[in-house]
Structure 1
Amino acid sequence: MADPDLWEVLDRHIHEAEQLRRCLHREPELSGTEIGTRDRVLAALPPAASVTKVADTGAIVRIGGDGPAVGIRGEMDALPVTETSGVEWASERAGTAHACGHDVHLAALVAVARTIEELRLPTPLLAVLQPREETYPSGARDIVEDGALQAEGCAAMIGAHLQPALPTGVVACVPGSVNASSDEFEIQVHGTSGHAAYPHLTADPLLALAQIVVALQSIVSRSVDPMAAAVVGVSSISSGTAANVIPGLARATGTIRAMNAETRELLRKRVQAVAENVARAHSCGVEVKITHGEPVLHNDPRLVDAVARHLGDQSIAMSTTLRSLGADDFSYFSEVMPAVMMFVGSETDEPLHSSAFLPSDSDLHLTARAMLAGYLGAADLLREESPLR
């Protein structure tokens, strides 16, 4: 059972972290450039047993002594978005904004770390300051491949992400697959250009690409089990320079999402096959490039139960149904250790990545409480005789 003063101590540190959140929000940094953000958070964290630099601009900070530890992830990067929130502490960097709540996540993590350090809780904490959540190559993937988490004895990983699709005050803590795998594809169709008045003398790549785009929409409906969630979507098309010229090249990009590894592999193969065969039918060549992104994000059921008990003890309303085909590179952690990603309801009506997205101080409080519940749940399991995995 946690110390009854634990949550009061956390509340005090959350109030102190509100100013840090504003500082981070005012000076956002894009993926791969988060050195200032990292150093600002390091300065706000309590004195650490060790600080390990990872993934170029990231860090893993140990709070507490030796032995198996619980990790909590805080993403550091902002988005290439021009903020329109209108607050006094809006981004001062043109074209860059914390439009996904990472400033809130970091400030919440600092409050939790200060609480754990002040009360000398027995299970060590690893504050994982992760870069490049919003872009490839993934910062989480690099941290896992670096081996630093294993070297630090990380036994479980906790994440919490704001989600305005949830009602205010609600935390989703759901077992199993909660976010999709995410791959990106690029299709380039090569034809023979010519005058638009003489189409019979050309091989029209734009027409071929249009047919490919239509054919791609049949993959999920005709190749995937209707009970399996999946998406194949084209998001951009580009070709041509003039109304009377059939171009020699047409290009499209899009995304592949799936909730299990088997469907993911099927979709990759079908995108490749559809593009090749439709292009061939139009006497065109084709190049298909598939960039492998995040795996499926899987929440460990046993860890979910342990975390949910602490959320319930604090009378935090919970959702046990939220799943989406969104993606988060937290999934790289869940591939190698027991992990739980929680989604935290936000007061803002704006969606994630909106230029006006601005979570409230109440959202910061709930995020920190969810993170601490995650830490406590993982610590409970670590104290049991059987290991987490």
Structure 2
Amino acid sequence: MSRPHPAVPPRVDPALRAALEAELDAAVALRHALHRDPRLSGDEADSRDLVLAALADALPPGTTPQPVADTGALLRLGPAPGEGPPAVAVRAELDALPVVERTGLPFSATGGVAHVCGHDVHVAALVAVVRALARVGAARLPAPVLAVFQPREEKAPSGAADVVAEPAFTAHGVGAVLGVHVQPELPRGTVSVRGGPVNASADEIEIEVHGRGGHGGYPHRTRDPVLALAQIVCGVHHVVSRRVDPMTAGVVTVGQVQAGSAPNVVPESASARGTVRALDASRDELLDAVREHVEGTAAAYGCTATLTVVPNEPAVVNDEALARTVATALGGRGAEDRVDGDGVDGEGTPTGLVLDTTFRSCGADDFSHYGDVLPSLMLFVGAAATGTTPGAGPGLHHPEFSPDDAMVGEVARALLASVAAAGAALAPPVTGSNPQPVPDTTPP
């Protein structure tokens, strides 16, 4: 972000805080409804309509949701584009995953689709924030706010890529985009904010090895594609250890292998599918190295191989200046930032959450597409079960993963404080003021 940042971002308006706390019970009920009846990527219209119905009675007269990316919706609060400072957009994902849930929750999904990535929590938290902002009125808004209820985060074609390309989004004069994700790799009660890469790029790869089939008792007459593929799968992981700087992060995973029709027949071909992820490593160089390994190993076994890359998401790269501003706001400034009377915050922070500035992972998210065109920031809120080691329990996409209901409030408070900080950073500087740069809280 090019604007100067206040050294101490303003605290969240107490009226906004109170309004948000008043919305959390209804937000938890909405979370249950979304969780109980989830929708896959591209089929989110019912979830979108449920969200808009939950917002309808709180919106100012004349506020009309806009469709976006087929099954998504945009909702703006505050002055019209061009009549105020740039807007702060906040993204939440509508879709679920093709997983049979095993959480045992009373509001558990019963089919083959489940919210096991926390999207229901994100959406419910954003609804609480939007309702709170709408209740206090335009005069108290920290900035114009554009809520983005986005489809198709989990499956291509990317909903985020479609959103940023649509005039319905670009017309809003957005100056910054915020996103949030629950994260079981982080301790409960933490919120992580840092600049730079925080999620990896993710591309799918398809490997096809062709040889000469034949009888299993006469292997010398064949050119065995199964053996060649086995060596490719074992060796491709060494591409990272020997072709990528050990001070950077990249990972190759082969998750699917297919070959043959009988135990005594050498088949004509064998195939595998996987992913290649790059956080700091060069995405293109890593893919090139994988291709060299696939083709060279196949040739060593008298076979040929092709590598097909299915491009997916680029890395999520948080804007450095926006990260510093939001981290300063979320880190708190003393007793005046305590949240009293609601059982949260014993640390003098505006959210009750402890600030972390180190976390990042080789997970992927299509939120990256917002960062390609605008300053963007992905927050992570700790979701490890209380008393457990982060990462030891069911993780994202696991059939038993489900954050508890209190996380709706934790995510909502983090979003509200972040909106206030981003809005202050985007506001025109006061005449005669001399804002100081924010100290850099991001590790080198």
Q: The TM-score by the shorter chain falls in which range?
A: over 0.9
Shift of 1:198: 1.2
* Matched AA of 1:284: C
Residue 327 (structure 1) aligns with: 364
* Matched AA of 2:51: V
Residue 77 (structure 1) aligns with: 95
Are the counterparts in 1 of residues 183 and 384 from structure 2 also a CA contact under 8 Å? Answer: no
Aligned counterparts of 1:269 and 1:187: Cα–Cα separation in 2: 14
| Deviation string, structure 1 residues 288-328 (Cα, Å, up to 9, x no partner) | 11111111111112111221233233153111110111111
| Deviation string, structure 1 residues 322-379 (Cα, Å, up to 9, x no partner) | 0111111111111211111111112534311121212112111100011111211110
Shift of 1:14: 1.4
Aligned counterparts of 1:355 and 1:335: Cα–Cα separation in 2: 32
Are the counterparts in 2 of residues 75 and 129 from structure 1 also a CA contact under 8 Å? Answer: yes
Residue 75 (structure 2) aligns with: 61
Are the counterparts in 1 of residues 15 and 136 from structure 2 also a CA contact under 8 Å? Answer: no
- Structure-to-structure mapping, 1:163-174, within 5 angstroms: 163-174=183-194
1:118 matches 2:162: no
Shift of 1:190: 1.2
Aligned counterparts of 1:214 and 1:167: Cα–Cα separation in 2: 34
Mind listing any 5+ residue stretches in structure 2 that lack a counterpart?
Answer: 1-9, 333-349, 386-392, 431-444
1:9 matches 2:28: no
1:28 matches 2:67: no
Residue 355 (structure 2) aligns with: 318
Q: 1:347 to 1:217 in 2, by over 3 A?
A: closer
| Deviation string, structure 1 residues 123-180 (Cα, Å, up to 9, x no partner) | 2211111111111221111112224322111111111110111111110111111111
Residue 249 (structure 1) aligns with: 269
Q: 1:244 to 1:347 in 2, by over 3 A?
A: closer
SS in 2 for 1:5: helix
Shift of 1:214: 2.5
Are the counterparts in 2 of residues 307 and 374 from structure 1 also a CA contact under 8 Å? Answer: yes
SS in 2 for 1:86: coil
Are the counterparts in 2 of residues 347 and 363 from structure 1 also a CA contact under 8 Å? Answer: no
Residue 270 (structure 1) aligns with: 289
Q: Which moved more, 1:57-66 or 1:310-319?
A: 310-319
Aligned counterparts of 2:269 and 2:136: Cα–Cα separation in 1: 63
1:158 matches 2:178: yes
1:353 matches 2:371: no
Aligned counterparts of 2:252 and 2:104: Cα–Cα separation in 1: 36
Aligned counterparts of 1:7 and 1:129: Cα–Cα separation in 2: 22
Alignment equivalent of 1:187, drawn from 181, 204, 207: 207
Residue 381 (structure 2) aligns with: 344
1:304 matches 2:314: no
* Matched AA of 1:346: A
The normalised TM-score by structure 1 is: 0.95
User: Percent same amino acid among aligned pairs?
Assistant: 46
Aligned counterparts of 2:396 and 2:321: Cα–Cα separation in 1: 29
Are the counterparts in 2 of residues 347 and 360 from structure 1 also a CA contact under 8 Å? Answer: no
The root-mean-square deviation of aligned C-alpha atoms, in Å, is 1.6
* Matched AA of 1:336: V
SS in 2 for 1:127: strand
Are the counterparts in 2 of residues 169 and 317 from structure 1 also a CA contact under 8 Å? Answer: yes
* Matched AA of 2:246: P
SS in 2 for 1:83: coil
Aligned counterparts of 1:373 and 1:96: Cα–Cα separation in 2: 33
